C-alpha cells in the first residue's frame, strides 16, 4: 500500500528505491503505481525525482 501523506510517501519511495528498485519506472511497473501521481504529489512538497541518484531530492 502506497502512503497518501506526502511526507510518508517520500520516505516510503526513497526506501523502496534504495533497497529494492533500480528506478522509479521499475517500481511503478512492478507495483502498478501511478508514476505521474507520485511525482506530482512529491513535487507539492518540493521534491523531484533524480534519476542519477534514484531518489527523490
Q: CA torsion sign, 12 to 17 to 26 to 20?
A: negative
Q: In which residue are the cell numbers 511526507 written? A: 7
Angle at 8 between CA 3 and CA 11, to 5 degrees: 115
pLDDT of 39: 98
pLDDT of 26: 98
pTM: 0.95
pLDDT of 54: 98
Q: In which residue are the cell numbers 529494492 written? A: 20
Query: Tens-digit pLDDT profile for the chain (57 aa)?
Result: 899 999 999 999 999 999 999 999 999 999 999 999 999 999 999 999 999 999 999
pLDDT of 9: 98
Angle at 50 between CA 45 and CA 53, to 5 degrees: 125
Amino acid at each position: 500500500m502506497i502512503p497518501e501523506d506526502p511526507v510518508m510517501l517520500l520516505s516510503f519511495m526513497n526506501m523502496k528505491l534504495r533497497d529494492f528498485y533500480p528506478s522509479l519506472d521499475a517500481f511503478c511497473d512492478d507495483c502498478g503505481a501511478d508514476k505521474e501521481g507520485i511525482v506530482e504529489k512529491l513535487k507539492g512538497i518540493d521534491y523531484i525525482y533524480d534519476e542519477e541518484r534514484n531518489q527523490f531530492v
